[in-house]
Amino acid sequence: LTKTPIDDHLLDQLRRACAASLPHPGAAALLQHSDEAIAWLVREFNGLSDLRVGRTGTRREMEALLREPPPEEGSDFSAVLAEYQEKVAPYACRIDHPRFLAFIPSAPTFYSVLGELLASGTNPFAGVWLEAAGPAQVELVVLDWFKEFLGYPAEAGGILTSGGSEANLTALVVARERLTQEERGRAVLYVSDQRHWSVDRAAKVIGLPPEQIRPVPGDPDWRMSPSALEKCIIEHCAAGLMPWAVVANGGATNTGAADPIEELAKACGPHKVWLHVDAAYGWAAALDPEGKRLLQGIERADSITLDPHKWFAQTFEVGCLLVRKGGLLAETFAIRPEYMQDVTPGDEEVNFADRGLALTRRFRALKLWLSVKVLGVSWYRLLVNHCCRLAELAVELLSRKPRFEVLSPRRLSIVCFRFVPVGSRRDDDELNDLNLAVVDEVRRTGRAFLSSTRLGKQVALRLCFINWRTTAADVEEVLSLIEETGQRLAEG
């Protein structure tokens, strides 16, 4: 490149043009704005039980409320905050509401919220050690806590991800790394028919064709059968296929059932089949003796997905992947292009960008570290136990009411059931329609939010308890609401 010198006058102009930072509100205004925002957050946080669970709006309504051209000039923060409070926030479900029991909810502690704020406020680059040794060390510490909860060995390694979907994908990429190109063409992935669909998407992303994904039959409790898995492995070996990996559930999304992990590990071991446990929902149960028993053998898995933003009271987004032989993560993902030559970590140091899909990473570990340090692990043990007891209470109440049929008893903190009008001679299809209508009606009340699923041919209403706010009174209210709604719809 030829250098074209500019004259002194132009140079001076440039210096003056860049002499000052851009205008930005100063400390006094920032404190005032922060106070306004945080005071509102705390009010909402403490008053959730009395709020509607949330409402939705049509696209047309949302357009009418929010469509506008990009504003060339800025406006007053308080006015924009008020607009958010009036036009945006009310149109999102409060999934941390004590009576939001649909899907897998999330109910962060306020320390998780503050952790997110502090992480955003300092915005470290949590991808490489050189730029963020403190945040990387905090992530290592938090990962070691999780390893300890699950009984994983010291050599295990991990990474915090955006959620369970990214963790499941990352696990399959690591598991595939040891296959040759030839083996990839005949590798078989075994899955449960109760798997989360992120497993199918992960398989799609890594280019595994559907015929290389084989569902393994389950038992009547919707758990993968180890003997059926073993049979598949032997048959597929004999047919020249390569049994490659199994994704087992450590708490299935539908029913909460945990697969018999210990037995599955025994079936995988002799054939060197990679065992991945998707414990995105159920992992925290390992903090409680009952949950630990249900997840027995999880420490034998080659990799584990666990989502703190589900049953560990964290704000979105934080998932996690642990890999038993931790070194495999960097062996799979580390690439050092010339423009990153300065960030090669020392022997003991970790570049988390070398362990997964993302280079630029937010400091997710902070909210976890802050929450656990402020509340203690004992609080999380209580959380798990409390949620399991709520689910137990729900099953007990359902069993005493003649209009309910429990379709899948409590597994961890999930219960599936349906409403059946007394004396009903309705067939499954009619009951399915009725129960779907009940879900819609209950949601419309704003008092509770449920979701449905399908177990075999039957539509099931599903309650998932992960929220530290939910009480016995909430369970009673939700069940009464379902019963009244079901009866009204059945009679109408």
Q: Under the rule (CB under 6 A), what is the footprint of ligand PLP? A: 104, 163-165, 168, 196, 198, 253, 278, 280-281, 307, 319
Tell me how far, at minimum, the Cβ of 275 lies from ligand PLP, in Å.
15
Rounded to 5°, angle at Cα 467 from 466 and 470: 125
Rounded to 5°, angle at Cα 489 from 487 and 490: 65
Tell me how far, at minimum, the Cβ of 163 lies from ligand PLP, in Å.
3
Our CB check for ligand PLP shows the closer of 208 and 464 to be 464
Our CB check for ligand PLP shows the closer of 302 and 307 to be 307
**114 vs 370: CA distance, rounded Å:** 8
Tell me how far, at minimum, the Cβ of 454 lies from ligand PLP, in Å.
16
Tell me how far, at minimum, the Cβ of 107 lies from ligand PLP, in Å.
14
Our CB check for ligand PLP shows the closer of 165 and 432 to be 165
Tell me how far, at minimum, the Cβ of 268 lies from ligand PLP, in Å.
19
Tell me how far, at minimum, the Cβ of 228 lies from ligand PLP, in Å.
20
Our CB check for ligand PLP shows the closer of 109 and 161 to be 161
Our CB check for ligand PLP shows the closer of 168 and 435 to be 168
**191 vs 194: CA distance, rounded Å:** 8
Our CB check for ligand PLP shows the closer of 196 and 462 to be 196
Tell me how far, at minimum, the Cβ of 314 lies from ligand PLP, in Å.
11
Our CB check for ligand PLP shows the closer of 143 and 280 to be 280
Our CB check for ligand PLP shows the closer of 170 and 198 to be 198
Our CB check for ligand PLP shows the closer of 307 and 483 to be 307
Our CB check for ligand PLP shows the closer of 281 and 369 to be 281
Phi/psi region, residue 446 (left: phi>0; alpha: psi -120 to 50; beta: rest), is: left
**473 vs 99: CA distance, rounded Å:** 10
What are the C-alpha distances in Å from 365 to residues 114, 241, 260, 306? Answer: 12, 41, 30, 14
Our CB check for ligand PLP shows the closer of 191 and 267 to be 191
Tell me how far, at minimum, the Cβ of 41 lies from ligand PLP, in Å.
23
CA dihedral sign, ordered 371, 377, 379, 384:
positive
Tell me how far, at minimum, the Cβ of 258 lies from ligand PLP, in Å.
10
Tell me how far, at minimum, the Cβ of 278 lies from ligand PLP, in Å.
5
**246 vs 275: CA distance, rounded Å:** 5
The tokens 């997710």 sit on which residue? 364
**Per-residue b or e along 50-76, where b marks 16 or more CB atoms closer than 10 Å to that residue's CB:** eeebbeeeeeeeeeeeeeeeeeeeeee
Tell me how far, at minimum, the Cβ of 328 lies from ligand PLP, in Å.
21
Our CB check for ligand PLP shows the closer of 344 and 452 to be 452
**Can you give the three-state secondary structure of 30-88, one letter per residue?**
HHHHHHHHHHHHHHHHHCHHHCCCCCCCCHHHHHHHHCCCCCCCCCCHHHHHHHHHHHH
Tell me how far, at minimum, the Cβ of 305 lies from ligand PLP, in Å.
6
